[in-house]
């Protein structure tokens, strides 16, 4: 295993290479995984060329950790979109080479006066990333306070695709979804998910693996998960891309988000002293 340290803008970057893959992370900025490329293969994750790399801003691409709320805060839209974990300063706890040759990286975030202002609960959040032939990210929420709390969250994974209009996503067939760009109507997925306009959907009641088929890249990306019964699929398409400062106008063509979530009615309550884990495993099948 080789471990390198570098800077990207204001942020500390950790680059790990082992027998199976290369992975780049911003451990102290949101415990953010930015790149994952199995040896000899192209990067599976997408990262915007317009992304900010500043201490108080989210990174556009990779795997932002959305926590303790997904999307806009339910009662106060002045609070950060997708919670504060992705812009918080985390601690890098451990880098360990496992017997398998995989590398495990553990990062954590605890409640602070700043977090209490945004969210009045004591917690410890741990992210464990295992880098091997596959990438596994497990996010565990510990309730260290004396009252139960509720969270929504996402492993907001951006994937690199050759041409979003040519891909399809299998695994969500016949599932109901909330269409957030059509008045939050409930609809039912007919066949695989394909893209020819903006897509922003929360698929409900699904623990299924999703398979992104990308014929132009000649690859399939498999996203399996635990601790999650909802999946978000997002592509901003033309108008929304143009509105986002940290997203190139044409970049929507080369990305798709398939997010492992606890969103909407899949919110989880964590009792005092208890914990909840959500995890995603990303693998190439070709």
The contact set with ligand BG6 (CB under 6 A) reads 58, 71, 81-82, 156, 200, 232, 234, 259
- Cβ neighbours of residue 175 under 8 Å, at least 6 residues apart? 188, 189, 203, 204, 205, 206, 208
DSSP 60: S
Contact of 203 with 169, CB cutoff 8 Å: no
- For residue 132, what are its two tokens? 């091997």
- For residue 83, what are its two tokens? 């919670």
Containing H/E element for 141? Answer: strand 135-143
- For residue 258, what are its two tokens? 């398939």
Can you tell me which residue has the tokens 């903006």?
198
Please tell me which residue in 156, 220, 250, 251 is annotated as part of the active site: 156
User: Residue 244, class by beta-carbon neighbours within 10 Å (0-12 exposed, 13-18 middle, 19+ buried)?
Assistant: middle
Least gap, CB of 81 to ligand BG6 (angstroms): 4
Q: Which is nearer to ligand BG6, 201 or 219 (CB)?
A: 201
Q: Which is nearer to ligand BG6, 81 or 110 (CB)?
A: 81
Least gap, CB of 13 to ligand BG6 (angstroms): 20
Q: Which is nearer to ligand BG6, 126 or 230 (CB)?
A: 230
Please tell me which residue in 35, 138, 153, 259 is annotated as part of the active site: 259
Specify whether 94 is catalytic: no
Least gap, CB of 264 to ligand BG6 (angstroms): 11
Least gap, CB of 106 to ligand BG6 (angstroms): 25
- Cβ neighbours of residue 196 under 8 Å, at least 6 residues apart? 165
Least gap, CB of 122 to ligand BG6 (angstroms): 25
User: Residue 79, class by beta-carbon neighbours within 10 Å (0-12 exposed, 13-18 middle, 19+ buried)?
Assistant: middle
Specify whether 259 is catalytic: yes
Containing H/E element for 219? Answer: strand 219-226
Q: Which is nearer to ligand BG6, 177 or 234 (CB)?
A: 234
Residue number of the CB atom closest to ligand BG6: 81
Catalytic residues: 156, 259
């Amino acid at each position: 295993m080789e471990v390198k340290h570098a800077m990207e803008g204001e942020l500390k970057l950790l680059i790990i290479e082992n027998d199976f893959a290369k992975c780049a992370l911003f451990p102290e900025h949101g415990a953010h995984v930015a790149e994952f490329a199995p040896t000899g293969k192209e990067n599976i994750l997408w990262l915007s060329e317009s992304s900010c790399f500043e201490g108080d801003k989210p990174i556009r691409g990779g795997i932002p950790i959305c926590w303790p709320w997904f999307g806009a805060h339910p009662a106060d839209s002045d609070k950060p979109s997708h919670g504060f974990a992705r812009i918080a300063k985390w601690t890098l706890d451990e880098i360990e080479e496992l017997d398998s040759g995989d590398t495990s990286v553990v990062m954590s975030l605890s409640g602070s006066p700043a977090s209490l202002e945004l969210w009045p609960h004591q917690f410890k959040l741990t992210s464990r990333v295992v880098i091997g032939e596959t990438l596994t990210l497990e996010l565990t929420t510990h309730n260290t306070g004396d009252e139960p709390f509720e969270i929504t969250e996402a492993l907001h994974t951006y994937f690199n695709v050759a041409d979003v209009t040519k891909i399809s996503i299998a695994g969500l067939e016949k599932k109901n979804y909330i269409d957030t760009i059509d008045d939050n109507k409930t609809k039912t997925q007919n066949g695989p998910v394909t893209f020819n306009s903006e897509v922003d959907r929360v698929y409900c009641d699904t623990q299924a693996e999703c398979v992104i088929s990308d014929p132009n890249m000649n690859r399939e990306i498999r996203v399996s998960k635990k601790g999650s019964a909802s999946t978000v699929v997002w592509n901003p398409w033309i108008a929304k891309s143009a509105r986002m400062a940290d997203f190139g106008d044409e970049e929507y063509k080369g990305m798709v988000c398939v997010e492992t979530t606890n969103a909407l009615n899949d919110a989880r309550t964590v009792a005092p002293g208890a914990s909840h884990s959500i995890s995603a495993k990303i693998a190439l099948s070709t």
